[in-house]
Amino acid sequence: MSRNGNGVAAIIRRAPIADNWLLKGTPPLLSPTHLSFPFVLFHYSLSNTTTSPSSPPPPPPPTAAAVITNQVSESETLPRKRCNLGPNDDLQSALNSFNRMLQMRPLPHISHFNKALGTITKMGHYATALSLILNKLQQVQGILVDLYTFNIAINSCCRLNQVHFGFSLLGSLFKRGYTPAATTFNTLINGLILEDKTPQAVELFKKLITTREIEPDVVMYGTIVNGLCRTGNTIRAVSLLRIMEEGSCKPDTVVYSTIIDSLCKDRMVDDALKLFTEMDEKGIFPDVVTYNSLIHGLCNFGRWKEATKIFREMLDSGIAPNVRTYTVLVDACTKEGKMKEAEGVLEVMIQRGVDPDVVTLNTLMDGYCLQGHMDEAIRVFSNMVEKGLRPNIVSHNILIAGYCKKMKIDEAMHLFREMPRRGFKPNTQTFGAMLQGLFQLGRCGAAQKLFNEMQIVGIIPDSQTYGILLDGLCKNGHISKALSLFHMMERNGLDHDVVMYSILIDTFCKDKKLDSARVLFNNLSSKGLHPNVKTYNMMIHGLCEEGLLHEAKELFVKMEQSGCLPDGVTYNTIIRGFIGQHKCYEALILTEEMVERGFSADASTFPLIVDILSTKGQDPALQEVIKKFMHKDSHGMQEKE
DNA sequence: TTAGGGTTAG
């Protein structure tokens, strides 16, 4: 695997670039392709005029550099406030039309009412639709609601997380002598999945098949596939896909896309790509959703070159990127700290006639917060308001977390207290961000008070909240309090996940209590938990610190055997361990392996490797491996595109 | 002819 195929010498040669990134804590060792990714993207999307038949004619194609450097005024950066009807006006006009129909005599056929209801549910106003059906249609003499109306009502219940009510409507449907359709059951199956009751959904699905009550169609299969994917059973979803292929109901774009997305989220991007190729072989056309999932998956793993290729392929197939595609690209840029490029994506999308939405701008804001540029984040927030997009609770949470990260707890607290006045009730994430901020400043008492307040106002802490508490207490030296919390959770039936254990393992390692860390680590499997890459990294770090290189190396080998691939942190940790023990040969071999896997030396490891190469270059024992680096690098450098 | 499945941010 030589995505960033380079050697150690390349690290040195590219030090000015890498250094810059090292300081920001993001992956260094950028390949030339990596650096040019957003440029390629913009240039291509701007200069390609044949891709989006529905989009307005694109402006003359500027050069990539012009896209990045051209500063447009703020009013051009964001869509202007809409003069046409907003979403609420759309709802109002649908309601007006519904009410007008109720006044007509003779009354219109039920299908017309269903159509109006469908418009309302498509806008997401499920409670309104349900109320219209139950409180208006049912009360009017002369209207006979039909199967379609029932299905809309059942779907509305499901979308409101009231699947049980959906099932009682199914009862009423039977009583009225209607026969439910595949749609009816599928809606209920989906309702179960939405309420995290996938096992029941699968049960119902199986029952329908065995009783031959309903012949499942592709939508029903697709819904079950989605349920399996959402619950981490992507492999079972793939099995179902294979079963479909054997039967008469063939998988469609949605089924494939669902699995492709899930594989990407499960870090199995290569398998996702294989399915994508398979679609092509079977003549099933990918759509914008399929491409969005793949581009997102590839970007998440730094596979820019392939992401660009897929993006080009999408444009070549005549599929126009939508707001989600551009948001994924903004996200990819911001996660790499490339804010100018992220702003560039925003410009491109506007020029292409796609308006950024609140998610796009929140993503951009989050990028600025990650970089610590709160002034820029606030500028985006203000722009959002000016342009008629209403910031949501996520926008507020992003800013609060940003302030906390910058240790500006007063500003964070101000915004936090301001939220109810703006119509937002702080949620678990809001409290989590505030708690993290307080712990970071060592204000454990205030954090405790806020945690109590959270429970008083009825926000249920989730495992992440407990993780923040546990970590905060540990990092502030309140180990015994942390342990009490840990045991309290156990007593209250709150499951400890691997993160909780990892926090304690890390604490014990740093507290020189390696034996306690080992006990916790070794007991994980008895609790049915599997260490993740962070858990391994913490243990490996602890072992290296104690000079137990042999045990660290054993664990390093074992993690991969157990199916947990080492990441950049693992390599850097163990390489530093070896260098610390003057085992330069092993360190260089591991460095080579690290680079081959697309990771690179971080700010603390990098100078140590440079030191080995510059001071031990003549060491006969090392010459062979150093030569190998040099040789590889000459290839790596030719890879430029 | 009106109902059901897949993609984005904290």
- The DSSP-derived string for A460-494 is PP-HHHHHHHHHHHHHTT-HHHHHHHHHHHHHTTP
Q: Copy the structure tokens of residue A222.
A: 């697709």
Instruction: Identify whether residues A96 and A167 lie together within a single domain.
Output: yes
Q: What average pLDDT does the segment A487-491 reach?
A: 89
Lowest mean pLDDT across A18-27, A214-223, A290-299, A487-496: A18-27
Lowest mean pLDDT across A70-74, A177-181, A605-609, A616-620: A70-74
- A180, A211, A242 — which closes off a domain? A211
Instruction: Identify whether residues A119 and A23 lie together within a single domain.
Output: no
Q: Return the closest nucleotide (C1') to the Cα of A187.
A: B4
Range of the domain at A8: 1-29+531-641
With bands split at pLDDT 50, 70 and 90, how would you rate the model's confidence at A36?
very low
Q: Cα–Cα distances in Å, from A197 out to A91, A159, A189?
A: 31, 14, 9
Instruction: Identify whether residues A25 and A91 lie together within a single domain.
Output: no
- A195, A211, A227 — which closes off a domain? A211
The gap between A296 CA and B3 C1' (Å) is: 31
Instruction: Identify whether residues A200 and A101 lie together within a single domain.
Output: yes
A328 touches strand B (CB under 7 A): yes
The more confidently predicted of residues A142 and A156 is A156
A436 touches strand B (CB under 7 A): no
User: How far is residue A276's CA from residue A290's CA, in Å, rounded to a whole number?
Assistant: 8
Domain count, chain A: 2
Q: Copy the structure tokens of residue A404.
A: 């906390």
Q: Give the pLDDT confidence of A279-306 residue by residue, as tens digits.
A: 999 999 999 999 999 999 999 988 989 9
Instruction: Identify whether residues A5 and A119 lie together within a single domain.
Output: no
The confidence score (pLDDT) of residue A127 equals 94
Instruction: Please report whether residue A563 resides in a domain.
Output: yes
Instruction: Please report whether residue A201 resides in a domain.
Output: yes
Sign of the alpha-carbon torsion through A132, A133, A135, A141: positive
Please provide the size of chain A in residues. 641
Instruction: Identify whether residues A92 and A170 lie together within a single domain.
Output: yes
Report which of residues 359-378 in chain A place their beta carbon less than 7 angstroms from any atom of strand B: 359-360, 362-363, 366
Instruction: Identify whether residues A124 and A16 lie together within a single domain.
Output: no
Instruction: Identify whether residues A89 and A19 lie together within a single domain.
Output: no
A456 CB-near residues (< 8 Å, 6+ apart): none
Instruction: Identify whether residues A129 and A204 lie together within a single domain.
Output: yes
A135: which DSSP letter?
I
Share of residues in chain A with pLDDT > 90 (%): 70
Q: Copy the structure tokens of residue A305.
A: 């070159």
Looking at every residue in chain A, the average pLDDT score rounds to 83
The confidence score (pLDDT) of residue A618 equals 76
Chain B: nucleotides below 7 Å from protein CB are 1-10
Q: Is the pLDDT of residue A611 over 80?
A: yes
Instruction: Please report whether residue A469 resides in a domain.
Output: no
Instruction: Please report whether residue A539 resides in a domain.
Output: yes
Candidates A66, A114, A78; CA nearest to A94 is A114
Instruction: Please report whether residue A320 resides in a domain.
Output: no
The gap between A69 CA and B6 C1' (Å) is: 37
Q: Give the pLDDT confidence of A417-461 residue by residue, as tens digits.
A: 999 999 999 999 999 999 999 999 999 999 999 999 999 999 999
Instruction: Identify whether residues A104 and A196 lie together within a single domain.
Output: yes
Lowest mean pLDDT across A17-31, A147-161, A623-637: A17-31
A190 touches strand B (CB under 7 A): yes
Instruction: Please report whether residue A413 resides in a domain.
Output: no
CATH of the domain at A187: 1.25.40.10
- A176, A211, A246 — which closes off a domain? A211
Instruction: Please report whether residue A290 resides in a domain.
Output: no
Instruction: Identify whether residues A205 and A90 lie together within a single domain.
Output: yes
Instruction: Identify whether residues A123 and A203 lie together within a single domain.
Output: yes
Q: Return the closest nucleotide (C1') to the Cα of A356.
A: B8
Share of residues in chain A with pLDDT > 70 (%): 83
Q: Give the pLDDT confidence of A198-254 residue by residue, as tens digits.
A: 999 999 999 999 998 888 999 999 999 999 999 999 999 999 999 999 999 999 999
A351 touches strand B (CB under 7 A): no
Q: Is the peptide bond before A106 cis (omega within 30 degrees of 0)?
A: yes
pTM of the predicted model, to two decimals?
Answer: 0.79
